[in-house]
């Protein structure tokens, strides 16, 4: 798995994930637990949907 999630993308995913999980924890709807997904993709730096869509927000190194 080659990293395909860049810096700002990771920050936005982590923020959204934490926000959704906090909402779910404090009485939000059950679907808010989907916040685990953006939080995980932010942590590992890889989004499995990006290759299917031809996206890559990770800066090219070289």
Place of tokens 């949907």: 49
**Taking Cα atoms as reference points, which of 10, 7, 3, 8 lies closest to residue 51?**
3
User: What pLDDT, in 10s, does the model give residues 8-56?
Assistant: 999 999 999 999 999 999 999 999 999 999 999 999 999 999 999 999 9
Number of residues assigned to the chain: 62
CA distance linking residue 21 with residue 17, whole number of Å = 6
Q: How far is CA 58 from the centre of its chain?
A: 13
Residue 1 has what pLDDT?
Answer: 85
Q: pTM for this one?
A: 0.89
């Amino acid at each position: 798995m080659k990293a395909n999630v860049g810096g700002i993308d990771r920050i936005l995913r982590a923020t959204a994930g934490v926000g959704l999980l906090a909402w779910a924890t404090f009485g939000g709807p059950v679907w808010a637990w989907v916040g685990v997904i953006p939080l995980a993709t932010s942590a590992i730096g890889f989004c499995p949907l990006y290759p299917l869509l031809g996206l890559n927000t990770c800066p090219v190194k070289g």
